[in-house]
């Protein structure tokens, strides 16, 4: 996968002729958003932090109508929704994205600047606000999203958040995992997380014929074998009575579980 284009904030990499990843590597969270171009329309999976104008990047990659879909309603995944009036969200988090997000703007700004990063010169964190809006479609488990020659299946995978979704593109074997799977510490310690549900969501992925994992953060080279590794780790913690809030952080070869 090679660098395609971008600007001072975003980096664009090409996954295949119709799939791109738009990343915010200059921020400590290293967020990834995915643009999928179908024959009829395009889909943007997550819109990032909202620090830069992601629409300016998207319009260089497609001239079709663009729908945004949120893997989950955390600030680093729907920050750019203000540029996409047509957006989808899971039914469990439709209220979160319409003004009931469970953190204050002060807390969000703290997390945004928790570690030093090189924000764009015109970015003023004191003016940073959370997007609020009503989705054009509310999704549930096993729904499909049709783009024209490309179909994604919605997988409700709660644990990191109540309405977290992964998206599986069976024809390509692509699994877009949001914050359920990535290389790094997995967060399951917030009050709105559910460690046991997280384990069951990982188990839900075991039966899929995954050829490529496309995470929402950090390293893009995620081995497919990580699904089985995470399943074993969560199951071992569950069987030992440690899969619960307050148990601590458990480290493995290329990920951790923060409880």
Structure tokens at 30: 């290293």
Residue 45 lies inside a defined structural domain of this protein: yes
The reply to whether 254 falls in a domain is: no
**Is the residue at 75 inside a domain?**
yes
- For 57-71, b/e burial (b = at least 16 CB within 10 A) is bbeebbeeebbbbbb
Q: Are 169 and 100 in contact (CB under 8 A)?
A: no
**Does residue 250 fall inside a structural domain?**
no
Number of domains in the chain: 1
Radius of gyration of the chain (CA): 17
Asked, for residue 31, whether it belongs to a domain, the answer is yes
What is the CATH number for 169?
A: 3.60.15.10
Whole-number Å distance between alpha carbons of 72 and 89: 7
Return the residue matching tokens 């490309």: 150
Asked if the structure places residue 115 within a domain, the reply is yes
For strands 174-178 and 165-169, give the pairing: antiparallel
* Residue 255 within any structural domain of the chain: no
Q: Does 252 reside within a domain?
A: no
List, for residues 7-37, the tens digit of each pLDDT value: 689 999 999 999 999 999 999 999 999 999 9
- The whole-number average pLDDT for the span 55-67 is 97
Residue 122, C-beta contacts closer than 8 angstroms, at least 6 positions apart: none
Domain that holds residue 49: 2-184+208-217
Record the pTM.
0.96
As a whole number of angstroms, the distance between CA 36 and CA 45 comes to 8
Contacts of 48 (CB under 8 A, 6+ apart): 22, 24, 31, 33, 54, 76, 77, 79, 80
The string of pLDDT tens digits covering residues 171-223 is 999 999 999 999 999 999 999 999 999 999 999 999 999 999 999 999 999 99
């Amino acid at each position: 996968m090679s660098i395609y284009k971008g600007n001072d904030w975003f980096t664009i990499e090409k996954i295949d002729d119709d799939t791109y990843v738009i990343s915010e590597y200059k921020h400590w969270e290293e967020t990834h958003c995915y643009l999928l171009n179908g024959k009829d329309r395009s889909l943007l999976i997550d819109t990032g932090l909202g620090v830069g104008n992601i629409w300016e990047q998207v319009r260089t990659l497609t001239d079709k109508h663009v729908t945004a879909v949120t893997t989950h309603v955390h600030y680093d995944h729907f920050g750019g929704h203000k540029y996409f009036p047509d957006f989808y969200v899971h039914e469990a988090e439709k209220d979160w994205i319409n003004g009931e997000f469970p953190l204050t703007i002060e807390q969000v700004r703290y997390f945004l600047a928790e570690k030093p990063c090189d924000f764009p010169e015109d970015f003023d964190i004191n003016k940073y606000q959370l997007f609020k809006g009503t989705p054009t479609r509310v999704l549930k488990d096993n729904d499909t999203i049709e783009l024209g020659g490309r179909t994604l299946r919605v997988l409700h995978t709660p644990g990191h958040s109540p309405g977290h979704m992964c998206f599986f593109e069976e024809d390509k074997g692509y699994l877009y995992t949001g914050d359920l799977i990535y290389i790094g510490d997995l967060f399951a310690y917030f009050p709105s997380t559910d460690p046991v549900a997280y384990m069951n969501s990982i188990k839900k992925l075991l039966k899929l014929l995954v050829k490529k994992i496309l995470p929402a953060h950090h390293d893009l080279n995620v081995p497919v074998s990580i699904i089985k590794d995470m399943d074993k780790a969560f199951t071992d913690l569950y069987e030992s009575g440690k899969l619960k809030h307050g148990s601590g952080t458990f480290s493995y070869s290329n990920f951790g579980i923060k409880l």
